[in-house]
């Protein structure tokens, strides 16, 4: 790209020579081409690597630079006894130089675009594969039990991430539902999300034999032991897990996950939060769960940061307060309708830049 821009704007040096009918010495022509090309390259470098104010600095320095070049040009010609060219010869050489620079610029642009095209195809294929993984592993959830109704949905962004929502019904009637968000984007996050789902379901195979208060904490402990060996060091997962019992008791455990909302009708909305390390980041122990009681009509809302951190044009985040107000105004809606309302309101608020995933649980 730099080479193509250099050749393209090197033509400016040839143009200046043609304006003098090709009389300038070939050394001056060459210097003009080099300086014109380098100036364009500097501007391109600023565009892709530096802050915008460098444009002002370079533009201001150009004025004395070209004045100095115009001043020293005749001195150099006299000092080194450079001779002017005959117009017909000078114009012919300048035309050949211009033609060569344009062809070289075209060839370099084509090479650059071919490389970018291959990279674009590779990225598109990766996104399609990751979207396919996410669609297969994270289908929309709609589950009814004797005591609870659950609805979960994950809408991936253009930059594929690793959000996960899942429910597992145990043999004794208990239900475990959870949200997870893999840090990062792309195919790596999608693959790790699949590993997390597999590991979680495997950890729950023996959950019916464990004490209810130990199910989530032991599962998180196992996940934290498994994940470090199958991921990049900087990757981790936030997690929100819920165990639903027929007596209305809900065990919940949050690992670096945003607070969860619990709507209790006339008594308002509560926030359930817990400070624990994310899964797979550090070799820590001691994960724990807490419990609360859901009564008939109570509604639990868990979302990932793709919803809470969606920003509008003023760089304001959607946040928990807006979500809380929206839930309070539409708490009587069916869970699919409420889920659509949340996601629709967030999309209207700001452009989606991350996966947006939610889990809604209502006590019947």
Say what the pLDDT of residue 132 is: 74
Q: What is the mean pLDDT of residues 110-130?
A: 82
CA dihedral 93, 98, 103, 106 (to 10 degrees): 170
Least confident of 202-216, 252-266, 289-303, 320-334: 202-216
Share of residues in the chain with pLDDT > 90 (%)? 52
CATH topology of domain 139-363: Phosphatase 2c; domain 1 (3.60.40)
Please state, rounded to an integer, the average pLDDT across all residues of the chain. Answer: 89
* DSSP-assigned beta bridge partners for residue 237: 182, 279
Whose CA is closest to 94, among 42, 151, 17, 155?
17
The whole-model pTM stands at 0.69
Through-space distance between the first and last CA atoms of the chain, rounded to whole angstroms: 63
* Number of other CB atoms surrounding residue 256 within 10 Å: 18
- Give the domain ranges of the chain: 2-128, 139-363
What Å distances lie between residue 20 and 36, 92, 96, 311, CA to CA?
A: 17, 13, 16, 57
Region 24-40: mean pLDDT is 89
In this prediction, residue 161 carries a pLDDT of: 67
pLDDT exceeds cutoff 80 at 185: no
What's the number of CA atoms in the CB half-sphere (13 Å) around residue 167?
22
**Beta carbons within 8 Å of 17's beta carbon, 6+ residues apart:** 24, 28, 29, 32, 90, 94
207-231 pLDDT, tens digit per residue, is 766 777 889 999 999 999 989 888 8
pLDDT of amino acid 9: 93
Predicted pLDDT of residue 66: 81
Confidence of residue 121 (pLDDT cuts 50, 70, 90): confident
Which helix H or strand E contains 290, and what residues bound it?
A: strand 290-293
Written as one string, the DSSP assignment of 100-136 is HHHHHHHHHHHHHHHHHHHHHHHHHHHHHHHHHHHHH
């Amino acid at each position: 790209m730099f080479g193509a821009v250099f050749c393209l704007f090197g033509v400016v040096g040839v143009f200046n020579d043609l304006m003098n009918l090709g009389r300038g010495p070939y050394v001056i022509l060459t210097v003009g081409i080099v300086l014109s090309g380098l100036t364009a390259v500097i501007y391109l470098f600023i565009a892709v690597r530096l802050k915008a104010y460098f444009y002002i600095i370079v533009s201001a320095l150009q004025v004395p630079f070209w004045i100095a070049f115009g001043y020293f040009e005749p001195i150099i010609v006299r000092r080194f006894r450079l001779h002017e060219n005959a117009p017909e010869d000078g114009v012919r050489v300048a035309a050949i130089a211009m033609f060569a620079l344009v062809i070289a610029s075209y060839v370099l642009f084509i090479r650059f675009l071919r490389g970018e095209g291959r990279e674009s195809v590779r990225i598109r294929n990766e996104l399609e594969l990751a979207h396919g993984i996410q669609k297969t592993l994270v289908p929309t959830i709609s589950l009814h039990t004797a005591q609870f109704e659950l609805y979960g949905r994950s809408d991936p962004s253009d930059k594929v991430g690793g959000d996960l929502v899942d429910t597992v019904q145990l043999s004794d009637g208990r239900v475990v539902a959870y949200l997870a968000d893999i840090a990062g984007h792309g195919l790596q996050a999608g693959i790790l999300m699949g590993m997390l789902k597999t590991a979680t379901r495997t950890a729950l195979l023996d959950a019916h034999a464990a004490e209810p208060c130990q199910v989530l904490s032991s599962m998180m402990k196992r996940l934290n032991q498994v994940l470090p060996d199958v991921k990049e060091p900087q990757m981790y997962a936030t997690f929100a897990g819920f165990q639903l019992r027929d007596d209305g008791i809900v065990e919940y455990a949050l690992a670096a996950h945003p607070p969860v909302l619990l709507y209790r009708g006339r008594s308002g909305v509560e926030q359930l939060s817990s400070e624990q390390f994310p899964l797979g980041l550090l070799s820590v122990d001691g994960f724990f769960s807490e419990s609360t009681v859901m009564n008939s009509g109570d509604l639990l809302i868990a979302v990932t940061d793709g919803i809470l951190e969606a920003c509008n044009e003023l760089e304001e985040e959607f946040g928990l307060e807006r979500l809380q107000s929206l839930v309070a105004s539409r708490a009587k809606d069916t869970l699919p309708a409420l889920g659509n309302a949340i996601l629709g309101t967030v999309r209207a608020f700001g452009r989606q830049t991350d996966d947006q995933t939610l889990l809604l649980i209502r006590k019947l």
